[in-house]
Amino acid sequence: MEDQFDSSQVIMEVRAKVAAKPKATIADVARLAGVSTATAGRVLGGYGYTSGSKKDQVMKAAEKLGYKPNALARSLITGKTRTIGVVAGDIRNPFYAFVLRGISNIAEKEGFGLLITNSDESFEQETRAVDLLVEKQVDGLIVSPCDTRDSAHLRALHASGTPLVLIDRAVEGLEIDRVGTANVSAAREAVQRLIQAGHRRIGLVAELVEEAEGGVVSFIARAQAGEPVESAALYPSWQRLLGYVQAHLVARVPVDPTLVLRAGEYSAEAAERACLALLQRDDRPSAVFTTDGTMSEGAMAAIAKLGLSIPTQLSMIGFDDLDWMAFLPPGISTVAQPRMAMGEAAARMLLEQISGADIPPRTVLMPASLVERGSVSAPDTSLR
């Protein structure tokens, strides 16, 4: 028969003992080294004056105890965390992945940590993310805002003096450092290339979340009428649409609004569905231009599904230089954004703000380059 000894209490104690990890503090090190905490702190923290002899003692003691500084306590008093927060749309999207990598490059070099969150392009999630980061006292934020109009939380943030850099998108009337792409001109040049190759009916596959008053048709009409459009605070996909219209305008080619596709939702599947419908029309376009990586992916899926051959049956220019564009025969021409450099630029600007430099708001618009491969040729004359 087993004895009645209840082992749970003992086990709890053992566990507690195992779990106990008496991290060494500066006070411990100081005690062992026989100096004051202030002196130990000066040695370990590398500030103030310290003599060689004491320095040795302290270092030795720290080594012995396996001392690791507690950044929390340090930050609490210095008011600096050496951490920057980032709100991206979705890390899985190569655009953000590369931007993040760029930010990370700079952060790492400067010894900063990186607190990363996803907004999924949802305003509510973005707000929550910003709150989280602010509570964690990040020294600054890099945000890809999902709302380019209101974004009261970002205005408040900036007003409170928190270093803040916007990436990819701007916020209307919020004049702060930001880095983006020269979308209008990049898109214009790409579409011009298509027109120059002889195309007159060019499809556009774009995300185009509803925000321009009057919708796409009215937007196109206004742009086509040569009305000056305030494009700076537009969503990138709208800016690229603007470039598309401008290219037509310059070449005096009319825009057929039925050729511009709103995926409506930001996913390759949505783009594929929309594109599939477009390419099955009798009067289908002889070329397509897509306004970002995700749209390019969706469009490509649709093209593959229909078995259309590029460029003989359909010319195409994509956006963002995705890996497959290089080797998918015949090579997909595309507008390449310097994604990683954008992240690096944003991080550098943020660090400048953090270090206290008082610089007027800068807008860095990076040039996107058209990398030409084999997906553009003259339109198939047998068509229409």
Q: Is 117 in the site for its own copies (CB under 8 A)?
A: yes
Q: Find the binder of its own copies among 59, 65, 97, 221 (CB under 8 A).
A: 97
Stretch that binds its own copies, among 37-45, 99-107, 196-204, 255-263 (CB under 8 A): 99-107
Inter-residue contact 345 to 366 (CB < 8 Å): yes
For its own copies, the closer CB: 21 or 252: 21
Q: Is 185 in the site for its own copies (CB under 8 A)?
A: no
Instruction: State the nearest-atom distance from the C-beta of 40 to DNA, in Å.
Output: 7
Q: How far is CA 45 from CA 40, 42, 49, 51, 180, in A?
A: 8, 5, 11, 14, 38
Farthest CA pair distance, the chain: 98
226 binds, among its own copies, DNA, none (CB under 5 to 8 A by kind): none
Q: How many other CB atoms are found less than 10 A from the CB of residue 195?
A: 18
Inter-residue contact 317 to 194 (CB < 8 Å): yes
SS3 at position 173: coil
Q: Find the binder of its own copies among 8, 9, 19, 227 (CB under 8 A).
A: 19
Quote the radius of gyration of the chain (alpha carbons, Å).
Answer: 28
Inter-residue contact 107 to 84 (CB < 8 Å): yes
368 DSSP assignment:
P
| Per-residue mark of binding to its own copies, 123-152 (x: CB under 8 A) | --x-----xxxxxxx---------------
SS3 at position 141: strand
| CA end-to-end span of the chain | 94
For DNA, the closer CB: 25 or 125: 25
The residue count for binding DNA (CB under 7 A) is 31
Inter-residue contact 314 to 287 (CB < 8 Å): yes
For DNA, the closer CB: 162 or 239: 162
For DNA, the closer CB: 67 or 95: 67
Instruction: State the nearest-atom distance from the C-beta of 340 to its own copies, in Å.
Output: 8
Q: Is 98 in the site for its own copies (CB under 8 A)?
A: yes
| Nearest partner of 187 among 296, 345, 341, 334, judged by Cα | 334
Q: How far apart are CA 263 and CA 183, in angstroms?
A: 19
- Length of the chain measured in residues: 384
List phi, psi (to 5°) of 221.
-60, -45
Residues 32-91, interacting with DNA (CB under 7 A): 34-39, 41-42, 44-45, 47-54, 67, 69-70, 72-74, 76-78
Inter-residue contact 44 to 55 (CB < 8 Å): no
Which tokens is 209 given? 């979340």
For its own copies, the closer CB: 12 or 277: 12
380 binds, among DNA, its own copies, none (CB under 5 to 8 A by kind): none
List phi, psi (to 5°) of 178.
-155, 155
Inter-residue contact 106 to 340 (CB < 8 Å): no
276 binds, among its own copies, DNA, none (CB under 5 to 8 A by kind): none
39 binds, among its own copies, DNA, none (CB under 5 to 8 A by kind): DNA
| Per-residue mark of binding to DNA, 356-375 (x: CB under 7 A) | --------------------
For its own copies, the closer CB: 67 or 235: 67
Residue ranges binding DNA (CB under 7 A): 23, 25-27, 34-39, 41-42, 44-45, 47-54, 67, 69-70, 72-74, 76-78
Q: Which residues contribute to the site for its own copies (CB under 8 A)?
A: 15, 18-21, 23, 68-73, 75-76, 81, 83, 90-92, 94, 97-98, 100-101, 104, 108, 111, 113-118, 125, 131-137, 160-162, 268, 297, 300-301, 303-305, 307, 322-324, 326-329, 340, 356, 358
